[in-house]
Structure 1
Amino acid sequence: MQRVSILGSTGSIGVSTLDVLARHRDRFEVFALTAASRWQTLRDQCLEYGPRYAVMSDPRAAEQLRHALHEAHSAVEVLSGPAALEQVAACAEVDCVMAAIVGAAGLLPTFAAVKAGKRVLLANKEVLVMAGNLFMAEAKRSGAQVLPIDSEHNAIFQCLPLTVSLGQGIALPQLGVSKIILTASGGPFRDLPVAQLGQVTPEQACNHPNWDMGPKISVDSATMMNKGLEFIEACWLFNASASDVEVVIHPQSVIHSMVEYVDGSVLAQLGNPDMRTPIAHALGMPERLVSGVERLNLVANARLDFEALDEERFPCMALARQVAQAGGTMPAALNAANEEAVAAFLANRLRFNDIARVIARVLEKFDSTEPADLAVVQSADACSRRRAQEVIEHLGGKQ
C-alpha cells in the first residue's frame, strides 16, 4: 500500500489525482490533503478519503475546517501554515507526493519532498522555473524519483527510452535524441486579431477551448506563458539546452508532445486532453493503471493540425526563451513578474496585453545571479514582485 500526500488537493490536478486514486483503493492510501483557503472542499475530501492530515495555508480556514471535521466526528488532524506543508511532504511514512500547488507557493514543500527522497509527481512547473538547478541537484543527491505531470512533459518522458531516470544528468545525444517538440493549443486567442487583445476580459481568457484549469493557469495558457514556463521546465527535466526544444501550435491537443531522434524517427504520445492520463502514468509507473479517461477515437480525431508559433502574437513565449538561455535567477524573476501581472489582470487592474509588458520591464532592470541556495531564489522572487507592482501601478493608471 502506497501512501500519497497531495499538495493542492482542491485544484483541478488534485481533484483528478483523487479520482484516479479512488479507482485503486487497494494500492493507494491518502495520507495528507492540503489547500490554501477552500476549507469546505477540503472538508468534503477529508470525509470521503479519510487522510491522516489535512493542511491549510490560511490559519483561519484551518480553524473552520477543524471545527467542521469535529462536528462530523472525523479523526483527521488539521494543521496549518508553511511548515505543516513541508511536514506532510517529507514525512517518513509518505511514499509519493503530488506537487500540485500553483505558483511560487509550491516551492518549499515540493523541495522538502525531493530532499526527503520521495517519488515526486511534479505538476508545479514554477518549482523548476525558479530553482531548476537546485531542485534537480537535490533529486540526484537524495535519490528522489521526479515524474512530470504536465501533459507535455509526461508525453516526452513516455517517448524517451524506458530506462531514463530524470535528474541523473543524461544528455539527450546519449539517448539518440535530436530535438524535443512541445505542443501548444494556442489557447482561446490563437486567431484573434492582435489589435483586439487589449480588450480581452478575464472571463474570456479563462475559457480555454480544450482544458479545464484554474484561472491563473488558464490566463497563462492564453498568453502562452504557460508554454514558456514549460519550455524552461523541459530544459531542466531533460537536461536540454534552449536550442534542443521547439514549440509548435497543435490546436486539437491530441498529440501532447513529441521526441525527434537522430535517425529521423519522431515519437508522439496521443490521448484525449485529460490530466488523469499523466497522473495515472506517474502513479503506476512502471505499470499502467486504469485512469477513467475516455479512449481516443482516431477516426473522430482524424485531423491533426500544426502551425508555427508566432512570438509577436505571444511575446511571453519569446521572453521565456530569452530567460531560459540567460539562466541564473532570471527565470525566478520572470515567474514572479508573471504571477503579479496575471493577478492584476484577473482583478481588472491591468489589460491582457500589458501582462507581457510588465514582465519585460521587470526583466530589463533585473540583476541576475547564480542561485547558491533557495534564499537567493526567494530574494529574487520578492524583488521582482515589488518591481512588478510598480510597473502595474504605472500601466494600470493608463487604462
Structure 2
Amino acid sequence: MNRKNISILGSTGSIGTQTLDIVRLNKDLFKIEGISTNKNIELLIDQIKEFNPKKVAIYDEIAFNNFLKLKEVNEYKNLLNGIEILKGLDGLVEISKSKNIDILVTAVVGMVGLLPTLAAIKNSTTIALANKETLVTAGEIVMSEAKKHNSNIIPVDSEHSAIFQCLNGENNNKIEKILLTASGGPFLGRKKEELECVTKNEALKHPNWTMGAKISIDSSTLMNKGLEVIEAKWLFDVDPKDIVVHVHPQSIVHSMVEFSDSTVMAQLGCPDMRVPIQYALTYPKRISSNFDRLNLFEASNLSFQEPDLEVFPCLRLAYEALSHGGTDCTVLNAANEVLVQYFLEEKIKFYDIPKYISLAIKEHSFIKKPTLEEILDIDKWTRDFISNTVLNVQKV
C-alpha cells in the first residue's frame, strides 16, 4: 500500500486521537499533513512534536491568540518554525482544500464540518467521515458534489462502517433493509418519569463506548441514532422507512444489511472505534492490528429490541424530519447542538432537548430544496431562535 498523506479535523478529540494512534503504529503507511483543534492547544503541541504537520488550525479565537504567543517562547520557536498556523473556520477549510492530502478525517463535532468537507470534495480527496452533521444538514448537496468530483466518502462511525463493509462486493444487489444497531445508551430500560431530572453526569456515562461529551449526550437521548438514520439515508441511498433501528446493548453487532433474497449480513467486533477508523484509512485493503479480538463464547448473549420512542422522542423527531425532508434536518441538528451544550451547562433539563427541537422545526420557514447558502442561514436562525427561547424562559 502506498503511503498516504492525512489531515485530521479535530485531532485532539476522541476520534482524532484514536486516528493518531493508528498513524503512530503505521508510520510507513501514513504521514500527517494537517491537524486542528478547537481549544486544546496543550495536546496540539504534543501532536506537533510527534507528527510534524505542515498546517495547524485552531478554531477558538482565544486559543488561537494564546497559541501565537508560543512562537515567541524559546522552547517553541524551532518547533513552530515553518508550520502554517491558521484560525477559525477559514483555517479548517484551508487545511481541507490542500491538494497534498489523500484522506481528510473529519472528526470535528457539529455543523462546523460541512464547509471544510465540501472544500476537500472539490479536490477529489477521500473523506473519512466521522462528522455526522455534514450529511444530516446537507446530505443531498454533499453526496451530489462527491459524485461530481469523484470523491470517495468512507464512513467512520462504527454502524455506517459496518453497513459499508457488508455491502462490499454486493455491487447492485438490492438492499431491502438497513438494520442499524444502537447500544441504547445509559438509560436503556428506564421509564420516562425516571429521566425527567437526570443529570449531565448520569447522561455522560455510556456503558460501552468512550466518546466526547456531545456525542455521549446524543447517545443518552438516542439523537445520536437519529442522526445516524439520516446519515445512512444519504450514504446508502435508501428509503427512510427501510432503515430500522435495533437496540443491541452488547454493541457486538455493529449493524446489518438485509437483502432482497432475505439474507442478512452483519459486521461484528469488539466495541473499539480504532477498527472502523483504520478500515477507512486503509480501504480497500485491511492491515494487521493489535486490537482486541472478539470471543463469541464469552459474548454469547446477543439481544435485540425495538427502541422506545416515547421515552426517547429525539429518535422519533429525526425520523419525522427525514421523512419531511428539506430544512427540517438542518433545524433538527442545529437546535440539538445548542440544546446539548445548554444541558451540559445545566441550563435546561433532559426532556427540554426534544421539546425545543420540536418547537424550532415547527416555527422555522421550511424550504424543500435549500441551497447551501439557505442551509447556512437556517442553521444560524435556529441557533438564535433556541438561544432566545431558552433565555426568555429562564427570565420568567
Task: Pick the TM interval, shorter chain.
Answer: over 0.9
The residue aligned with 2:372 is 374
Match of 2:276 among 270, 275, 278: 278
The corresponding residue for 1:108 is 115
Q: In 1, distance between residues paired with 2:355 and 2:394?
A: 12
Q: CA deviation at 1:337?
A: 0.7
Deviation at 1:291, TM superposition (A): 4.0
Q: Distance in 1 between matches of 2:314 and 2:217?
A: 12
Cα distance between partner residues in 2 of 1:140 and 1:365: 34
**Cα displacement (A) at 1:325:** 0.5
Matching residue of 1:33:
35
- What does residue 8 of structure 2 align with? 6
Q: Separation in 2 of the partners of 1:87 and 1:287?
A: 29
Q: Which residue of 1 aligns with 2:209?
A: 211
TM-score computed with the length of structure 2 as normaliser = 0.95
* Equivalent of 1:325 in 314, 319, 323: 323
Residue in structure 2 matching 1:179, options 177, 180, 185: 177
Letter in 2 for 1:116: N
Matched position secondary structure for 1:221: helix
- Structure 1 residues 368, 291: closer, same or farther in 2, change over 3 A? farther
Distance in 2 (CA, whole Å) between partners of 1:54 and 1:291 is 28
| Structure-2 change in CA distance of 1:331 and 1:315 (3 Å) | same
Unaligned runs of 5+ in 2: none
Query: Per-residue deviation at 1:81?
Result: 2.2
**Are the aligned partners of 1:276 and 1:292 in contact in 2 as well (CA < 8 Å)?**
no
Map 1:119-268 → 2, pairs under 5 A: 119-162=126-169, 174-268=172-266
Which residue in the other structure is 2:302 paired with?
Answer: 304
1:343: which partner in 2? 341
Separation in 2, partners of 1:218, 1:329: 25
- Tell which deviates more after alignment, 43-52 or 282-291: 282-291
How many percent identity over aligned positions? 41
Instruction: Give the AA of the match of 1:374.
Output: L
TM norm structure 1: 0.94
Code of the residue aligned with 1:60 in structure 2: it is I
Q: Could you say if the C-alpha distance between residues 352 and 291 of structure 1 is closer, same or farther in structure 2, counting changes exceeding 3 Å?
A: farther
Within a 5 Å distance, the mapping from 1:54-65 to structure 2 comes to 54-65=56-67
Q: CA deviation at 1:393?
A: 3.0
2:46 aligned residue: 44
Listed one character per residue, the Cα deviations across residues 346-382 of structure 1 (whole Å, up to 9, x for unaligned) are 1111001111101011111122213443211011101
Q: Which runs of 4+ in 1 moved over 6 A?
A: none
Q: Which amino acid aligns with 1:142?
A: H
Distance 1:57 1:141 in 2: 29
Tell me, yes or no, if the aligned pair for 2:106 and 2:117 is still in contact at 8 Å: yes
For 1:395 and 1:149, the matched residues in 2 are separated by 38
Contact 1:23/1:290, CA 8 A, preserved across alignment: no
What number of residue pairs does the alignment pair up? 389
For 1:325 and 1:193, locate their aligned partners in 2 and report how far apart those are by CA, in whole Å: 27
**Structure 2 SS opposite 1:307:** coil
Query: Offset of 1:397 from its aligned partner?
Result: 5.8
Name structure 1 gaps, 5 residues minimum: 165-173
Q: 1:362 aligns with which of 357, 360, 363?
A: 360
Q: Deviations over 1:292-320 (max 9, x none)?
A: 42111111111101011110011000000
Which secondary structure does the structure 2 equivalent of 1:236 belong to? helix
Distance between the aligned counterparts of 2:334 and 2:272, measured in 1?
28
Q: How far does residue 60 in structure 1 lie from its aligned partner after superposition?
A: 3.1
Secondary structure of the corresponding residue to residue 254 of structure 2: strand
- AA aligned to 2:126 is R
Query: Which residue number corresponds to residue 169 of structure 1?
Result: none
Q: Do the aligned partners of 1:350 and 1:395 also contact (CA within 8 Å) in 2?
A: no
More displaced stretch, 343-352 vs 190-199: 190-199
Tell me how far apart the structure 2 counterparts of residues 65 and 11 of structure 1 sit (CA, whole Å): 18
Which of 80, 87, 97 in structure 1 is aligned with 2:104?
97
Q: Distance in 1 between matches of 2:290 and 2:103?
A: 21
